[in-house]
Chains A and B, each alone.
Chain A
Amino acid sequence: MRLNLWKYASPQSFYPVAGKLSPWFLGLAAVLAAIGLYIGFFVAPTDFQQGESYRIIFLHVPAAWMSMFIYLVMAFWCAIGLALNTRLSFMMALALAPTGAMFTFIALWSGALWGKPTWGTWWVWDARLTSELILLFLYIGFLSLHAAIDDVRRADRAAALLALVGAVNVPIIYFSVQWWSTLHQGASVSLTRAPSMAATMLVGMLIMSLAAWMYAIAISLLRLRNIVLERESDADWVRELGKAAA
């Protein structure tokens, strides 16, 4: 017997699957976060240069990684949606975007909190900070374009195209900003030469990244379920769902 994966491209058949999967991912995220935070707060040694303040990397680095990764995943679903015209792909992209924007915001915010004690300033116009800020703008553009168009079909496709244009632009923006900041770098803050990291710090960071990843999957699936219900509210199967619940 062959498992027909295409079956799950329909919102109706993916809806219960998402419901079954999301608690598992959420549980995994909670367990991993507990382990990661324990390592981060109690096992990892105090940094001899930065003191305790470095511990924010256990949140900051996973958030920054996820912010970029989610944009790529979002662009991937947009491309699939535009190419194959599958409704679920667009819904997936829309479900991912707020989580991606949230991680981008966390990365920026926690970076500022770390920067103040370490560099003595909340914000530096460094290449990484600047491109992270631009990434936030791209997420906001995607979400506001989608919100501004009333026709869902058109909103999906227009926002998907924008996400793809953004994905083409991300490397160009990244390298432009990098070149620009090497030209402008007045105050010398070297981020590029990270001091060699203790193994426990690295392990803690990786576990926290996995936790963030699992959280992103769980929350996106839950959001996807809401989007499916909202859009398919006229369909028979959703009505029967309502009747069964009542």
Chain B
Amino acid sequence: MMVLGLAPVLAAVVRRDLTLALRRRSDVLTTLFFFVIVVSLFPLGVGVQSAVLRSIAPGVVWVAALLASMLALVRLFASDFDDGTLEQGALSPQPLVLLVAAKVFAHWLVSGLPLVLVAPLLGMQFDLPVDALGVMTLALLLGTPCLSLIGAIGAALTLGVRGAGGLLAVLVLPLYIPVLIFGAGAVSATVSGMSASGQLSLLGAFLLIALVLGPWASAAALRIALE
């Protein structure tokens, strides 16, 4: 029996998940529009003075990104769990960690990357200067994969559980706090004329830690759910 190497398996899982996501485009768009709508609500609630908007923009964009990423997480493993694909994946000769990593990457491509791309536009609505827009995009580029990796643990733990959506928020949002602090901090620092390199380096460090430990913890959680 031929056992596929690691890279082809990764590519196959990513391609499969992307194909599935493209067949259900409304799911992807819902996450994106949720993000846009939440961000747009704040000026209506807080007022439209550009000084206020500039100072709240980093936090608003990041909190909305956290919520949008969490909203998408419920779907990460659910359908594969329901139809048994996940169980087959766990039985396959390839390590489950790899499967999880591929799925999280595909999930980030359809739910995290669109937020990164649309964020500069929203930043302009909040009157952010151009350099802050660049930093915000970079920070989201480093931070949203962290959110997907950490969130995958919560998604795996709540598989097939009553009221999984609300529970997922309670489990995952506290763990998102460091990413929120430094993600929003990077943009705020740029707005107030300081260098954001410290915050961006820390976000990069979080990404590396999440990359090493996240899929492993998610795989362990999936095994518990599949028992």
Contacts and interface: CB of A to CB of B under 8 A. Distances in A.
8 contacts: A134-B177, A141-B170, A144-B167, A145-B161, A154-B224, A161-B217, A161-B224, A177-B181
A167 B37 CA distance: 35
B221 A161 contact: yes
A176 B182 contact: yes
Interface residues of B, number: 27
Contact of B174 (A137, A145, A153, A179): A137
A52 to B, nearest CB: 36
Given A141-B170, A144-B167, A158-B225, A165 B178 contact: no
A158 B223 CA distance: 10
B220 interface: yes
A153 to B, nearest CB: 7
B121 interface: no
Interface of A: 134, 137-138, 140-141, 144-145, 148-150, 153-154, 157-158, 161-162, 164-166, 168-169, 172-173, 176-177, 179-180, 183
Contacts of A180: 181, 185
B167 A173 contact: no
Interface of B: 153, 157-158, 161-164, 167, 170-171, 173-175, 177-178, 181-182, 185, 206, 209, 213, 217, 220-221, 224-225, 227
Given A154-B225, A165-B217, A145 B158 contact: yes
B153 A153 contact: no
B161 A149 contact: yes
Nearest to B182: A176
Contacts of A149: 161
B158 A148 contact: yes
Main secondary structure of the interface of B (DSSP, over half): helix
Contact of A148 (B153, B163, B227): B163
A157 B224 CA distance: 7
A153 B221 CA distance: 13
Contact of B157 (A153, A158, A173): A158
B161 A148 contact: yes
B175 A165 contact: yes
B209, B213, B220, B224: which has the most chain A beta carbons within 10 Å? B224
A144 B170 contact: yes
A161, A164, A166: which has the most chain B beta carbons within 10 Å? A161
A185 B1 CA distance: 63
A53 to B, nearest CB: 31
B181 A176 contact: yes
A173 to B, nearest CB: 6
Contacts of A166: 174-175
A161 B220 contact: yes
Nearest to B189: A183
B174 A138 contact: yes
Contacts of B158: 145, 148
Contact of A176 (B157, B163, B178, B225): B178
